[in-house]
Amino acid sequence: MADSPNSQSASRRDFIKTTGAAAVGVGLTSAMAGAVHAAGSETLKVGLVGCGGRGSGAVKDALTADPAAELVAVGDTFADRMGPRIRYLKRNRKYGDRIKVDDDHIFAGFDAYKQVIDSDVDVVLLATPPHFRPAHLAYAIEKGKHVFCEKPVAVDGQGVRSVMETCRQAKEKGLSVVSGLCYRYHEPKRELMKRVHDGAVGQIIALHTSYNTGELWYNRPQPGWSPMETQVRNWLYYTWLSGDLINEQHIHSLDKMAWAMQDEYPVKVSSIGGRIKRTGEEFGHVYDHFCSVYTYADGTKCFSTCRQQSGCTVDINDYIMGTKGTADVMGHRIRGFEVWPKDRKTDMYLKEHEELFAAIRAGEPINDGDYMSKSTLMAIMARESAYSGKDVTWDEAFDIKVPGPSEYVWGSAPEASVRIPGIA
C-alpha cells in the first residue's frame, strides 16, 4: 500500500496554534487570543489521525462541543477505512455540514499523521493504536498544534518518558493536551473525588478496582495481507501495538485509582496473569486476565483485576476504602449516600472536548500530560510484573522497552511470542 502524497499549506492562523503566546514570545497575549475566539467567530480546523470507531467518536464530540469547528483533514494507516468513515460523519444532521475534507486532505500510510498535522489544522485528534502515540504527539506539539490524545499514551516506559517530555514542551508553547482518560471529565466522579479528597471516607487505607468484561473484535486476515497488516488491523492482540488489555482498557480503572490518591503513584506492583480462554494464534501474544497488587509508599494497597473472557460475570467497579467508610466510584455513593442523582445526566466524552475547545478560545491551555503518562505507566509496570513473574518498582518501569518493528513496511512483523513468567 502506497502512502498518499503529502499536501502541505502555510499556517492559517499562527496565533491559534500558539495559544498563550506570551509564554513563547510571539507578541500576542493569551487574553487577546481568548478575546478573538470568545464569540466563536473564528473557525478552528480539526485534523483526525486514526479513523476507527474511537476516532470518529472524537470527531463527533469535537464538532458537537464547538459549533465553529470543522474537520478538514484525516489520516489512517489504511486507505480503505477513510472513505466510509467520512461518509458516515457527513450524514450526521448536527455537524455533517462541517465535515469539509477534500480529496487532497485524505492521507494513508504510516506517515499519514505527518501529512494531517502539516495540513492547515489547529487541533489534532490522535486515535491510532497506542504504539504510535509518542511519535504522533511529539510531531503535533513540534508543529504547534493543540491535541486531543487518546489513552493510553504508550506501550512501554520509554514511550512514557517521551510523552512526558513532549507534554513539558506543550506547556512551554501554551498548547493544550487533553487526555482520553474521560472519567476525569465526568461531573459525577469529579464531585465524588472532591469529597473523597476533602476527607469524606477518612484516610484511604485500600483501593479495589476491576474491569472484568467480555471479548472484543477480531478482523479475519484477507488474501494479500502481510503479517504486518494482519497485526496492525488486529492491534489489540499484540503488546507492541496495544500494551495488552491492562494497558489499553483497564487503564481507565487504574487512572481512577491514581485520581483517588491525588496522583500519588505506587512504589511497586506484584501481578499474575495469563491466557486461558483466548489462546488461539489469531489472538497474538497478549494475556486475557491480570490480577495485580500495587503498594504505595505508606503501605496503602490497591487491588486490581481485569479480564476479557466472554461468558463470564461482568464487573466494572472501583471502591475507595477509608477509615470513615467506603466510596463506590461507579455508583457515585459514599457510605451509602448518593453523591450525584441518577437523573442528572452528563456526557464525559463530550465534556473533555468542550473544555479543550473552550481552553483554546480562552487562551488558557489544559495539559493532562502528567497523569495520562503516569497512569499509563501504572498499567505497564503491572503487565511487566505478570509477564516476568517478578515485582516491578515504579523506577524500574520507566526503563521497560517493548520492541517494535525495525521499519514500518507492509511485510514482516514482530514475532508474536507469549511471555511465560519466570522463563521469558
Could you report the per-residue pLDDT of 74-126, keeping only the tens digit for each?
Answer: 999 999 989 999 999 999 999 999 999 999 999 999 999 999 999 999 999 99
Cell numbers for 181, please give them. Answer: 482518560
Supply the CATH classification number for the domain 185-340+372-397: 3.30.360.10
Q: Where in the chain is the domain with CATH 3.40.50.720?
A: 14-183+361-368
For 94-126, give one letter per residue: b (16+ CB within 10 A) or e.
ebeebbebeeebbbbbbbbbbbbbbbbbbbbbb
Cell numbers for 172, please give them. Answer: 512551554
Residue-wise pLDDT for 183-237, tens only, equals 999 999 999 999 999 999 999 999 999 999 999 999 999 999 999 999 999 999 9
Q: Where in the chain is the domain with CATH 3.30.360.10?
A: 185-340+372-397
- Is-contact 122 145, C-beta < 8 A? yes
As a whole number of angstroms, the distance between CA 164 and CA 397 comes to 14
What fold is seen in the domain 14-183+361-368? Answer: Rossmann fold (3.40.50)
Sign of CA dihedral 352, 357, 363, 368: positive
Residue 387 has pLDDT above 90, yes or no: yes
- Is-contact 351 178, C-beta < 8 A? no
For residues 277-299, average pLDDT: 97
Least confident of 132-146, 172-186, 261-275, 406-420: 406-420
Q: What is the DSSP string of 299-365?
A: S-EEEEEEEE-TTS--EEEEEEEESS-EEETTTTEETTEESS-TTS---HHHHHHHHHHHHHHHT--
As a whole number of angstroms, the distance between CA 317 and CA 404 comes to 33
As a whole number of angstroms, the distance between CA 392 and CA 266 comes to 10
Cell numbers for 15, please give them. Answer: 496565533
Q: What is the pLDDT of residue 8?
A: 33
Confidence of residue 285 (pLDDT cuts 50, 70, 90): very high
Average pLDDT for the chain: 91
Confidence of residue 424 (pLDDT cuts 50, 70, 90): low
pTM score: 0.90
Q: What is the pLDDT of residue 166?
A: 98
DSSP-derived secondary structure letter, 409: S
Residue-wise pLDDT for 112-153, tens only, equals 999 999 999 999 999 999 999 999 999 999 999 999 999 999
Would you call the peptide bond into 152 cis, given omega within 30 degrees of 0 as the criterion? yes
Question: Cα-flanking dihedrals φ and ψ of residue 188, to 5°?
Answer: -60, -40
Give the residue among 86, 73, 76, 80 at the shortest CA–CA distance from 118: 73
Q: What is the pLDDT of residue 195?
A: 97
Question: Cα-flanking dihedrals φ and ψ of residue 152, to 5°?
Answer: -75, 175
Start-to-end CA span in the chain (Å): 35
As a whole number of angstroms, the distance between CA 277 and CA 307 comes to 10
Does 5 or 296 have the greater pLDDT score?
A: 296
